[in-house]
Amino acid sequence: MQDFEFLRPASVDEALQYSRAHPEARLLAGGQSLLAAMRLGLSAPTHLIDLQDIPGLQDIRREGDLLHLGAMVTHARIAASAVVRGFCPMLADLAAGIADAQIRAVGTIGGALANNDPAACWPAGMLALDARFVTDRRTIPADTFFTGLYATALQPGEMLLAVRIPRPDAAHYRKQEQMASRFALVGVAVARFGTGEPSTVRVAITGLGNGVQRWPGAEQRLSAHWSAAQLDGLAWSASAALGDLHASAAYRAHLAQVLCRRCVAVLPAASAVATPEPAASRPSPFRALAMRLEQFLQTLSRSLTR
């Protein structure tokens, strides 16, 4: 790791001033991707601008039909939040399925989205839910935020402040995990807006190798009629996926279809008015206790580092 200077601003303005003054600086969220990249010599910032003391970036709140998640909200807090679960259980379940407890305790939704790892779960969830990305200069729709492998529409020095997520009538995320890391070999998020037919259905796939993508063929069929059978005969092309040592392109393409079908199968029929919480997604008492403990330890560790 090369030497760097550590900066700990207390406001967004101060962080942006540091960014402008040091063009080779990088924003630091939980460090779960950035510090690994620095250790591998893939990134050598002159300064790290730590965002953890900035008020407001850790907010979770309802804003009418939108859910506001500050960029520094950790996966663990999202998994344990009753506000999040009440708004859209898929978000809490997705967060609970990320990596392990240590990574969930410090990894953030903002860091994960700005990093846009091609196997990460959040990009699929946010693209399916048509989230809006609020930065210090503009609001970016999900369809234009993710621009490729580890690439987003964020400009140098632009800071992601929050994501605002519309409330779906039904949504689900399924992934086939890469066994060692729990990153997605392939992960599929399906969200339905509207309860009648036709409705608006968005399908987003992560893990195919080129960055998160929507699946227009599946969206058209499911928007017309909400049924897993609508996916019969529809396949993701293996030429639109990449293979590596973990899985071939053909296997990944196959998983895209299977996981999409499973998402549709667990969600309520199109005539249902509300989004019932699927029994399988409700945390067991043990899991709920573990999540509360995780949250407590995180708060404790933050106060000790202050």
Point out which residues bind ligand FAD (CB under 6 A): 26-34, 51, 71, 75, 98-99, 103, 106-108, 110-112, 114-115, 120-122, 154, 159-160, 181-183
Nearest approach in angstroms of CB 229 to ligand FAD is 30
Closer residue to ligand FAD in complex, CB, 212/222? 212
Nearest approach in angstroms of CB 8 to ligand FAD is 14
As a whole number of angstroms, the distance between CA 247 and CA 243 comes to 6
Annotate the chain with three-state secondary structure: CCCCEEECCCCHHHHHHHHHHCCCCEEECCCCCHHHHHHCCCCCCCEEEECCCCCCCCCEEEECCEEEEECCCEHHHHHHCHHHHHHCHHHHHHHHCCCCHHHHHHCEHHHHHHHCCCCCCHHHHHHHCCCEEEECCCEEEHHHHEEECCEECCCCCCCEEEEEEECCCEEEEEEEECCCCCCEEEEEEEEEECCCCCCEEEEEEECCCCCCEECHHHHHHHHHCCCHHHHCCCCCCHHHCCCCCCCCHHHHHHHHHHHHHHHHHHCCCCCCCCCCCCHHHCCCHHHHHHHHHHHHHHHHHHHHHC
Closer residue to ligand FAD in complex, CB, 90/112? 112
Nearest approach in angstroms of CB 254 to ligand FAD is 20
Residue of this chain nearest to ligand FAD (CB atom):
111
Nearest approach in angstroms of CB 33 to ligand FAD is 3
Closer residue to ligand FAD in complex, CB, 76/203? 76
Read off the tokens for 250: 């053909």
Nearest approach in angstroms of CB 101 to ligand FAD is 12
Closer residue to ligand FAD in complex, CB, 68/221? 68
Nearest approach in angstroms of CB 155 to ligand FAD is 10
Nearest approach in angstroms of CB 202 to ligand FAD is 18
Closer residue to ligand FAD in complex, CB, 98/270? 98
Closer residue to ligand FAD in complex, CB, 25/231? 25
Closer residue to ligand FAD in complex, CB, 75/85? 75
